[in-house]
């Protein structure tokens, strides 16, 4: 089973550090943010399995973040982190679709137990994409190669395979370059100016025989990003 990823949005550095350390020790991959705006952007753009969300944050409140997340990721598990005396916020959060809440101060064991319980009763992510069919061939992600109907096979690099698989998992929508950098390259893309995504897409197009004579599998959405355009899988 793939390692599950949890995003913690908490402005108190000591609490956030303790939560992240506990999650990491328990075997989770931990993402973190200490500001409401940053946390909201990460929650909307990054891929993860559960959100631990403080209610009182600078820049954007936990309720505002939860409202935006529910619009984009309606089934994402969310646990509210709240202080004593914030009962109204907890109630509002639960009404907006939070799955559970933990009142500060809390023990590590209580937090991990609630995380485990929410993850167990939440629907699992859709199964990963194993192949992409296109006119004249298929992409086999297990073998990291493109297989054409004329018998030719073209090997994909690990990064090319990750990039194409991410686009395949999000087929039907435009994926911004920043989202690709954050989820495929695993870097903080804020303020980063690079052509690496475009260069990898160009190489993928060559390997997929994407040209004027063949229907395009990878579509460029000008000024926005890329979309898997003509997948038959």
Q: Give 15-33 as a DSSP string.
A: HHHHHHHHHHHTT-EEEEE
**In this predicted structure, what is the pLDDT of residue 124?**
54
Classify residue 217 by burial, with Cβ atoms within 10 Å: 0-12, 13-18, 19+.
Answer: buried
pLDDT digits (tens, 9 = 90+) for 191-224: 777 889 999 999 999 999 876 555 578 888 888 8
CA dist., res. 127 & res. 93, Å (int): 29
Positions of CATH 1.10.10.10 in the chain: 131-228
pTM greater than the 0.95 cutoff: no
**In this predicted structure, what is the pLDDT of residue 52?**
98
What is the DSSP track for 71-120? HH-TT--EEEEEETT-HHHHHHHHHTT--EEEEES--HHHHHHHHHHHHH
* Confidence tier at 170 by pLDDT (50, 70, 90): confident
Mean pLDDT, the chain, as a whole number?
87
**In this predicted structure, what is the pLDDT of residue 233?**
46
pLDDT digits (tens, 9 = 90+) for 105-120: 999 999 999 999 999 8
CA dist., res. 228 & res. 169, Å (int): 9
CATH number for the segment(s) 5-121 = 3.40.50.2300
Positions of CATH 3.40.50.2300 in the chain: 5-121
Does pLDDT of 91 surpass 90? no
CA dist., res. 133 & res. 149, Å (int): 11
**In this predicted structure, what is the pLDDT of residue 2?**
59
* Whether domain 131-228 has CATH 1.10.645.10: no
**In this predicted structure, what is the pLDDT of residue 13?**
96
């Amino acid at each position: 089973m793939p390692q599950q990823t949890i995003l913690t949005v908490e402005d108190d550095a000591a609490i956030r550090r303790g939560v992240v350390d506990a999650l990491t020790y328990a075997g989770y991959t931990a993402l973190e943010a200490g500001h409401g705006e940053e946390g909201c952007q990460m929650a909307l753009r990054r891929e993860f399995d559960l959100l631990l969300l403080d209610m009182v944050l600078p820049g954007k409140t936990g309720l505002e973040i939860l409202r935006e997340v529910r619009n984009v990721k309606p089934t994402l598990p969310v646990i509210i982190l709240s202080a004593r005396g914030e009962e109204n916020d907890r109630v509002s959060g639960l009404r907006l679709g939070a799955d559970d809440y933990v009142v500060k101060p809390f023990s590590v064991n209580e937090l991990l137990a609630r995380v485990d319980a929410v993850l167990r009763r939440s629907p699992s992510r859709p199964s990963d994409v194993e192949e992409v069919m296109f006119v004249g061939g298929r992409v086999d992600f297990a073998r990291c190669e493109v297989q054409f109907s004329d018998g030719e096979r073209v090997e994909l690099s690990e990064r090319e395979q990750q990039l194409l698989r991410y686009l395949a998992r999000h087929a039907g929508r435009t994926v911004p370059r920043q989202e690709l950098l954050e989820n495929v390259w695993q870097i903080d893309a804020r303020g980063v100016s690079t052509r690496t995504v475009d260069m990898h897409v160009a190489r993928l197009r060559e390997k997929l025989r994407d040209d004027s004579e063949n229907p395009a599998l990878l579509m460029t959405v000008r000024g926005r990003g890329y979309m898997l355009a003509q997948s038959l899988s």
